[in-house]
Structure 1
Amino acid sequence: MKLVKNVLGRVFAVWAAIVFIGSMLVIIIPLWFIARQEEPRRTINAFKLFHPWIAFFFIFSGVRRRFVGLHHFEKEKSYVVVCNHNCFMDVPLSSCGIPVPNRTIAKAEMAKIPLFNVIYRGGSILVDRKSESSRKRSYIAMRKVLNYGLTMCIYPEGTRNKGKVPMQQFHDGAFRLAVDSKKAILPTVLFNTTKVMPRDKSFYFWPTPVEMHFLDPISSAGKTVDELKEETWQVMRDYYVAKGGFQEAV
């Protein structure tokens, strides 16, 4: 049975790649033009393009999505959405699961991949974590996104959680951004993405329902960066463990 599942996982991976890349080729030209627009028009139009594309990918790859807590997004408000990060599937789930125009932070190396560079430039703020000047530019860019009334999506663990803990400790960036811009943090917990793309398997894809839970917003008013970071980490970790996320991730 294990051998059959391993073989099928590779077959599903081929199919998922065909669906993803094939559908991406359909949007690549309009996205190329959108990526050259000024903000906030660029993010708004990219959001309109990404949503149906990613919905198509999930439907035809066999992965069903469930969203909890969408009512936390209030009209005319922007947020700093922070998500846990376990695998590559987190990015399409989270960036297009957020129901309002948003940008996400991404590694600058991703923009060096042919075709994907258009995707990342259209929907992300790129940062070279090894460069102090790049980090400063990305922070300024994120402030501008929020000032435009758009939402930022950030993975405060900094990288995928490959350890045997429910959630890695958070970096300061998202919380400094929230404090400086006076925006609320919207804690968001992703479930089952590692069942779709397990950490210990290469080129493997298993169609499994995934979930994205938006928790109660956490105000940044009157809090230090460390206080906000610790409160958010504790809320997300406790929720993740209580809902069984730790068991599915390890």
Structure 2
Amino acid sequence: MKKLSRLASFWVIAKSLGITLWISVRTLFEVYTGRFRREVGDRRLRWWSSRLLKYVGVDCRVANPHGFAFEPGKRYVVMCNHRSLYDIPITFVALPGSIRMLAKKELFKVPIWGQGMRAGEFISIDRVNFEQAVKDLEAAKAKMASGIILWAAPEGTRSREGALLPFKKGPFRVALDTGAVILPIGIRGADRVLPPKTTRFSFGERVDIAIGKPIDSAEYATTEIKRLMDDVRRQIETLGGYQRTD
């Protein structure tokens, strides 16, 4: 593991922004010309993710002790802890399928990238306007019905101090309303790649991705959202290496 110089870190940022801009423009062009295909988007996202990780030399190690595999025709919500900006590309590299992120609406306002995300079937969530949030969650359900695997950070935002933040109800409501299977994931080490409050990268970090035991939300009543949240949180606490709170 090596701390990159400011110049090298700037070069990582420049390259990362460059390929993000490229895939955004390419996706927008394909959507507007009627040429976009979801499977092409899947491959492009994994290519983008692998390049981002290569730029900082991330060594990803995936543990899947339960032998989990996505089953066609089922609905899934992947939930993981969120310590790093690299959690998304790490997940795309570690898991197969048409995974798309449930992201805060502010990201979709970023020029070109935001439009590219929407064109590439990422899903916006309004964390302030309740009525809009309800509409956003309905859109998420429609995407899942078409085969999208939803990725959500139940903390709602990136943890700056390393602690596991309180969970938001939104992703769990989607899971309960659709009878989705929740796949808990714990990521360790991603925060060392780019620590909070800095723009200097660490090269060659090992990141461990632990895939937990799937939780079928269909086994919970709609009134049992707290129990479901607690069960998922316990797994993520263990998988992510946090100190248990119970």
Match of 2:153 in 1: 155
1:53 counterpart letter in structure 2 = W
TM-superposed deviation, 1:34:
4.2
Q: Determine if the alignment matches structure 1 residue 203 to structure 2 residue 199.
A: yes
1:84-233 map, 5 Å: 84-121=81-118, 122-163=120-161, 165=163, 167-199=164-196, 201-207=197-203, 208-223=205-220, 224-233=224-233
Cα pair distance change 1:138/1:87, threshold 3 Å: same
Bigger mean CA offset, 142-151 vs 119-128: 119-128
5+ residue gaps, structure 1: none
What is the aligned-residue RMSD (CA, Å)? Answer: 2.4
1:187 counterpart letter in structure 2 = P
Asked if the contact 1:36–1:42 (Cα under 8 Å) also holds between the matched residues in 2, the reply is: no
Please state which structure has a larger fraction of its residues in helix. Answer: 1
Match of 2:55 in 1: 60
1:34-53 map, 5 Å: 34-36=30-32, 43-53=38-48
Asked if the contact 2:152–2:171 (Cα under 8 Å) also holds between the matched residues in 1, the reply is: yes
TM-superposed deviation, 1:104:
0.8
Q: Determine if the alignment matches structure 1 residue 33 to structure 2 residue 29.
A: yes
TM-score, structure 2 normalization: 0.84
5+ residue gaps, structure 2: none
1:62 counterpart letter in structure 2 = G
Cα pair distance change 1:43/1:211, threshold 3 Å: farther
TM-superposed deviation, 1:138:
1.2
Asked if the contact 2:105–2:124 (Cα under 8 Å) also holds between the matched residues in 1, the reply is: yes
SS of alignment partner, residue 198 of structure 2: coil
1:18 counterpart letter in structure 2 = A
2-structure distance, mates of 1:93, 1:148? 24
Cα pair distance change 1:225/1:133, threshold 3 Å: same
What are the superposed Cα offsets for residues 210-232 of structure 1, whole Å, 9 maximum, x if unpaired?
A: 23221110111231211111101
Match of 1:82 in 2: 79
% identical aligned pairs: 26
What are the superposed Cα offsets for residues 111-142 of structure 1, whole Å, 9 maximum, x if unpaired?
A: 22223223322242112211123201210111
2-structure distance, mates of 1:34, 1:191? 36
Aligned residues: 234
